[in-house]
Amino acid sequence: MSLSVILAALSPLRPYLIQLSVDKYITNHLLQMLIYISVVQLGILLIENGLRFWFLYRINWLGQTVINDMRKSVFRKILFQNIGYYDRTPIGTLTTRTINDVEAVNDVFSEGIVSIIADILTIIAIMIIMFITDWRLTLVCLAPFPILILATYWFKESVNKSFQRVRNAVAALNAFVQEHIVGMYIVQAFAAEKTEMDKFKTINKEHRDANIKAIFAYSVFFPVVEIILAMSMGLLVWWGAHRMLDYSVTPGVVIAFVMYLNLLFRPLRMMADKFNVLQMGMIAGERVFTVLDSKEHLADNGTVNADNIRGEVKFENVHFSYKAGTPVLKGISFEIPAGKTMAVVGHTGAGKTSIISILNRLYEIEGGSIKIDGTNLKDYDIYSLRNHIGIVLQDVFLFSGTIAENITLRNADIPREKVEAVCKLLGIHNFIMSLPGGYDFNVMERGNTLSQGQRQLLSFARALLYNPSILILDEATSSVDSESEQLIQQAIDKMITGRTSIVIAHRLSTIRRADEIMVMDKGQIIERGNHQSLIAAQGEYYKLYTAVEKQKERV
């Protein structure tokens, strides 16, 4: 900040010295002094630009430091955000917040606030010196200024509007491309390339139009500024020449004024632009801070360590909804003794996946209680608890990286032997070794280079790595080839033995092996019992079971 003051004070100095040399030394033929003054000029020039370098460097350094911290905070916030937040917030938005918006905040530093202040100071310093030197001449020169102010205002407004449109268009483009690359399979399978291309063209056209609007404003504004500058110069020469004739103005002053005017117009030209940067930065900053301020953190004040849990799970009259007013679970009560297996079956949308999401505290329940080993879920330290609940989800997500990294989730503390031991236990070691590179086989983004069954096998290893006391398995409905099917079957058997398991099951073999079966419908438990008793009861389970049996016969 003090640098900008020094810079502002220095800027009128060189024209002033020129004025001196012209009026005093040249007219009086003091050549010796002229050499001195040139040396001083050179010195000032070096100092001024040295300072300018340091100024720019510092500002950008500051900006980069700030955005580095800011980006870290935003991503940390995102990492710890409640899962429910992601049901409502599009991915594109969050990516934009972490990457683009933070960048715009940086621009406030590098081109915005500080340099605007520096420019204003420079302008003030020059104006003061001009008025002191010759206030009448100054007034004449600055006569076209009101036009400049009007032009600047128009420019700022129109560019601002266009940039707003550009930003929206960029966000739309981002979101569109992102979504379509993820969903490319569907697009191509349904031969929707042409329609999607047309949609893309529309969005892209909006982007182009908005940009052209902004460019138009630029193309008009800069020539206008040049014309105004030329007008000022003209007035200066006209008035200055008149006054030089009656010796009330020296040639040095006129020359100095030419330089002053140039110095004055240089920052003015960029000012409107910088104000826009500032404004956009503010808007972006505001958005970033809404993310930073959102209080969707899980209330995490549990302290009980889960290291020695046996794994007795008890739901008591649990009520839960994703959106207030649309209940998903309506009074669920059940109990699983430690080490036993409970199978959950039911139609799609019955609330099966929801049960495991709340057991892992990804969402908070609305009523009732969930206890593990008699201790309320909320009293456990959440990270310790989640380490002891192994989970296999319906859709397996793989990160880009090696097989080993995907199993350990890049936790380098876990030795390769441990990973291999788990895979051997699950019976999938040979399958992994059959891939090129074995455990170092590179999984592409989203795991697209592996089959569904293979991905599922990897997710089993992931879940079992920490030897959890409680295992949650949301079986995928999709059928896999018989070889993988057998591997999966055996792996599931291995996984559920000896630990409390909740299995949302679609395989009859898994269901039959369970100690208890719970049938769900529309957020409620409608039947419970083991396989024999439920078949004998000839209720909903019987219907589901016979339907699945029939399907099997057909295959």
In the complex, least distance from residue 455 CB atom to Mg ion, rounded to whole angstroms: 17
354 binds, among Mg ion, ligand DCP, none (CB under 5 to 8 A by kind): ligand DCP
In the complex, least distance from residue 503 CB atom to ligand DCP, rounded to whole angstroms: 13
Q: Are 51 and 6 in contact (CB under 8 A)?
A: yes
Q: Are 203 and 176 in contact (CB under 8 A)?
A: yes
Q: Residue numbers of the site for ligand DCP (CB under 6 A)?
A: 87, 322, 328, 346, 348-354, 394
Locus of tokens 């899962």: 83
87 binds, among ligand DCP, Mg ion, none (CB under 5 to 8 A by kind): ligand DCP
Pick the closer one to ligand DCP by CB: 349 or 437.
Answer: 349
328 binds, among ligand DCP, Mg ion, none (CB under 5 to 8 A by kind): ligand DCP
Pick the closer one to Mg ion by CB: 264 or 473.
Answer: 473
Pick the closer one to ligand DCP by CB: 79 or 324.
Answer: 324
Task: Extract the tokens encoding 291.
Answer: 């993310």
For residue 36, give Cα distances in angstroms to 10, 42, 508.
18, 10, 99
Pick the closer one to ligand DCP by CB: 279 or 353.
Answer: 353
In the complex, least distance from residue 547 CB atom to ligand DCP, rounded to whole angstroms: 14
Pick the closer one to ligand DCP by CB: 351 or 453.
Answer: 351
311 binds, among Mg ion, ligand DCP, none (CB under 5 to 8 A by kind): none
Nearest residue by C-beta to ligand DCP? 353
For residue 368, give Cα distances in angstroms to 50, 352, 382.
69, 17, 19
**Side chain identity at residue 166, one-letter code:** V
| Helix (H), strand (E) at residue 118 | helix 113-141
In the complex, least distance from residue 83 CB atom to ligand DCP, rounded to whole angstroms: 8
Q: How far apart are CA 24 and CA 330, in angstroms?
A: 95
In the complex, least distance from residue 319 CB atom to ligand DCP, rounded to whole angstroms: 13
Nearest residue by C-beta to Mg ion? 353
Number of residues that bind Mg ion (CB under 5 A): 1
Q: Are 478 and 395 in contact (CB under 8 A)?
A: no
Buried b / exposed e across 298-320, counting CB within 10 Å, b at 16+? beeebebebeebebbbbbeebeb
Q: How far apart are CA 508 and CA 545, in angstroms?
A: 8
Q: Are 319 and 331 in contact (CB under 8 A)?
A: yes
Binding mask 308-347 for Mg ion (x = CB under 5 A): ----------------------------------------
Residue 70 sits at φ, ψ, to 5 deg, of: -65, -45
Q: How far apart are CA 123 and CA 4, in angstroms?
A: 12
Q: Which residues neighbour 209 within 8 Å (Cβ) at sequence distance 6 or greater? A: 165
Its sign, for the CA torsion 179, 355, 501, 536, is: negative
447 binds, among ligand DCP, Mg ion, none (CB under 5 to 8 A by kind): none
| Helix (H), strand (E) at residue 554 | helix 540-554
Applying CB under 5 A, among 158, 204, 353, 384 the residue interacting with Mg ion is: 353
Pick the closer one to ligand DCP by CB: 506 or 512.
Answer: 506
In the complex, least distance from residue 525 CB atom to ligand DCP, rounded to whole angstroms: 12
Pick the closer one to ligand DCP by CB: 85 or 145.
Answer: 85
Pick the closer one to ligand DCP by CB: 41 or 353.
Answer: 353
Pick the closer one to ligand DCP by CB: 257 or 541.
Answer: 541
In the complex, least distance from residue 472 CB atom to Mg ion, rounded to whole angstroms: 12
| Helix (H), strand (E) at residue 527 | strand 524-529
In the complex, least distance from residue 474 CB atom to ligand DCP, rounded to whole angstroms: 7
CB atoms within 10 A of CB 168: 13
In the complex, least distance from residue 394 CB atom to ligand DCP, rounded to whole angstroms: 6
- By the criterion CB under 5 A, which residues form the site for Mg ion? 353
